[in-house]
Chain A
C-alpha cells in the first residue's frame, strides 16, 4: 500500500490514459479493427512473449549498434574538425544542415543506395545519431574549464597531450548529452526504417499486423516500442546525470 501511493502519484497520467482508452472503446462501442480495448492488447503481448521479445531484441540491437556507430563517428569527425580549420570550415555547415533534415527524408535515399536489408537500418540509425553528436561534441571540445588552457601551456603539453589529457575528457559530458538525445532518436529511427523498408523487427511487425487489420498485435507492438523507448531514455538520462556529477 505504501508503495502504491508514490507509484500512483507518479504514473497517474498513464493510468488515466488507459482508463480513458478503455472507456472510449466500450462507451463508443468501437469495432476492434478501429481500436481494440487495452486488455486484449495486453493479452496479445503476454501470450506471445517469444514473438515480441525476438523482434524487440532485434530492433534494440539494431538501434544500439547504429547509435554506437553514429556517436563514435560523430565524435571522431568533430575531433577532426577541431584539429583542422580546413575540415571545420567544410564540415560544420554540413553538420548543421544535416542535423536539421528529418530522418524520414533520408530513409528512401539511403535504402536506394545501400539496399533493403538490416545493415541499411543500422546505417540509418547511425546517420540519425551522427549529426547531433558532431554538433554537441564539437561544442564540448571548445568549452574548456577556466584557465586550463594556460595550465597546459605552462606544463609544456604537446598538441596530442593537450587533446588526450584536457580536450577529450572535457568533452565527455557533451558526448553524454548526445547519447541522451540520440538513443531515443535511434530507437525511433530503427523502427521507422523497419516500418518503411524492413523485413523484421518491431517496425516491420507493426506494419505487417496493421496490413492484415490485426490491431491487437499492432497496438501491442506500439506498447512494446513505447516501453523500450522510455527504458532507453531513462538509462541514457541516468548515465548523463552520473557523468555530469562526476565532471563538475
Chain B
C-alpha cells in the first residue's frame, strides 16, 4: 500500500448508531450500548475511557467481531469485522490474558503463526518477547508468571502477525506504575514505526493522553459516548511531555468528565 497522505485519511473502523442489548437468563435484557458513533481513521490511535461496566469491553468485542450489534452497524474497512480476523490481520489483547496454559511463553506468542499456517518467525517472536520485557522467560508457562507478565505476554502475542488493527483491553491493568510507563514508551516506538490502527481501553487518563491521538470518554447504563477529545501533543512524546501544564490541565478535565454526574 503506497504511503500517500490520502490513505492516512481513510476510515478504518466505523461504528454507526451501534447498540448492544444482552438477553438475560430471566428473559429480560440489559442495554450495554446505545447509539454509539465512533469513526477511527487508518493508523489512528484511539483510547477509550469510562467507568467500570460502561461498555468499553463491549465496544471492543463489537469491533473484534466477537459480538454483533443489536442495532446500527460496525465495519472495519467497510466490511464485517470477522473478515479482518479471517485474514489474520487483527491483533487483540484481552482483559483476560487468554494464554494457553500448556504452552510456554514463546509458544503462546508463536500461536498466531501456527493458527494462520504461516512459518513461525523465531526472530520476530524473540524481538516481541524482549519488547515486553519477558526475555529469559521464553520457556516459562503462564502459571509460572505474575499477572502483569501474563498481560505482557498476551500483548506480544497480539503483535505477532504484525496486524493492521490492534485492540487492547486494559492491557496494563496489572502493571506497577514504572513498568507501565516503560511499556507505554516501548509500545509508542512500534506505533511510530508503522501505521497501526489501535483502540486501547484503559482506566488511566495519563496513559490515554500519553499514547492516543484521540480519547473517547464513555458513560454507563446504557453506554454512550460522552466526549471525543483530540490529543494535541506532538510525537514522539517523551516522559517530559507528561509534566507540562497543558498535560495536567487535560488530565484534570478528563478526570472530571469521568466522575459520576450529579
Contact = CB atoms under 8 A, between A and B. Distances in A.
Nearest to A172: B102
A150 interface: yes
Contacts of B114: 161, 165
A104 B217 CA distance: 69
Interface of A is mostly: helix
Interface in B94-124: 94, 96-98, 100-102, 111-112, 114-117
A151 B98 contact: yes
Interface in B107-154: 111-112, 114-117, 141, 143
A85 interface: no
A157 interface: yes
A150 B66 contact: yes
A145 B143 contact: no
Contacts of A152: 115
A248 B88 CA distance: 28
Which bucket holds chain A's interface residue count? 20 to 34
Contacts of B65: 153-154
A248 B85 contact: no
A27 interface: no
A148 B98 CA distance: 5
Contact of B92 (A148, A151, A166): A151
A161 B115 contact: yes
Interface in A153-170: 153-157, 161, 165-166, 169-170
Interface of A: 145-148, 150-157, 161, 165-166, 169-170, 172, 246-248
Q: Which 9 A-B pairs have the closest CB atoms?
A: A147-B98, A147-B96, A156-B85, A154-B92, A151-B98, A156-B86, A155-B115, A157-B115, A156-B88
Interface of B: 61, 64-66, 82, 85-88, 90-92, 94, 96-98, 100-102, 111-112, 114-117, 141, 143, 167
28 contacts: A146-B98, A147-B94, A147-B97, A147-B98, A148-B98, A148-B100, A150-B66, A151-B98, A153-B64, A153-B65, A153-B66, A153-B82, A153-B85, A154-B65, A154-B66, A154-B90, A155-B85, A155-B90, A155-B111, A155-B115, A156-B86, A156-B90, A157-B115, A161-B114, A165-B115, A169-B102, A172-B102, A247-B101
